[in-house]
Amino acid sequence: MKKTSTRLADGRELIYYDVRDDAVRDAVDRRPLERTVTTSEIRRDPLLGDRVAIASHRQGRTYHPPADECPLCPSAGERLSEIPDSAYDVVVFENRFPSLAGDSGRCEVVCFTSDHDTSFADLTEEQAGLVLDAWTDRTAELSHLDSVEQVFCFENRGAEIGVTLGHPHGQIYAYPFTTPRTALMLRSLAEHKVQTGGRNLFADVVDKELAEGTRVVLEGEHWVAFVPYAAHWPYEVHLYPKRRVPDLLALDDAARTEFPQVYLELLKRFDRIFGEGEPPTPYIAAWHQAPFGTLEEFDGVTRDDFALHLELFTVRRTSGKLKFLAGSESGMSVFINDVPPEAAAERLREVASK
């Protein structure tokens, strides 16, 4: 992998990740951009303890542009985009309309390929491996920023999810705090450790799924994917490396090599869930990594107790119907799932590649 860092016309950082070591990236951003001004602010909810990002500048962000005006495609002639070069493998750049900025963290965009009319599932194993390298490198770099406590790599796909740019891409949020969802996991981890005399909750969950087998979707030598026992979403899969590690940085070479095979197969199965002729399945793919800040508030828990994993889920519950977060889910955070996890796992095994 070759990494080349440059700057866009407004001063934002852009990084090319290339498969070939001899790739040359010297294109200059020719757009007449003024320096980006952001108004991101983190506020704490005194009742729930949650943090909320107030980012009014995002009201003006790019919204469903036509394909020939996509800001994530390479620049071509006088059609200038966020990527100055005429082609690329993987690109990461600072978001022009970030939810988090400055002392409030950082937001980056990850373009998986220069091909507008494709998706992550269409990447080759080499291309998917390069994306994994980019996620890992950005996690390492962002973790060193004073304002960053947790790094979150994720992909939203599909208009049903709220995606406003059709180009295959994801994002990285670098939070200045430990997110509420991760804090819940850490509290459960601490409680389980006390109640079981030191056992690891993540290890016990994975071991139970492997032993029962009914919810296991896909198993490799180094990774296992299963529908969780209490799945929140109609079709939801959690992907774990079998050797527990706290973050992407700690994956060994064997796990990194096998990941593209396993993950690409999972994404292909997601697109087959609802049968032939259905539009691509909308989904969210989210990496959960241990925070880089102190864990003192979670008694007896260290970073090494956390388990890196990816959660992949769709809001589509059946053909032509979406799972909306209504009163119970949005108002009280109590999910109601119409699809039994065992049935979801069975369906995901049925649509395996031949």
Q: How many angstroms separate the CA atoms of 168 and 70, rounded?
A: 11
Q: Which residues are annotated as a binding site for Zn(2+)?
A: 70, 73, 116, 167
Q: Which of 57, 64, 169, 192 is catalytic?
A: 169
Please confirm, yes or no, whether 169 is among the known catalytic residues: yes
| Catalytic residue IDs | 169
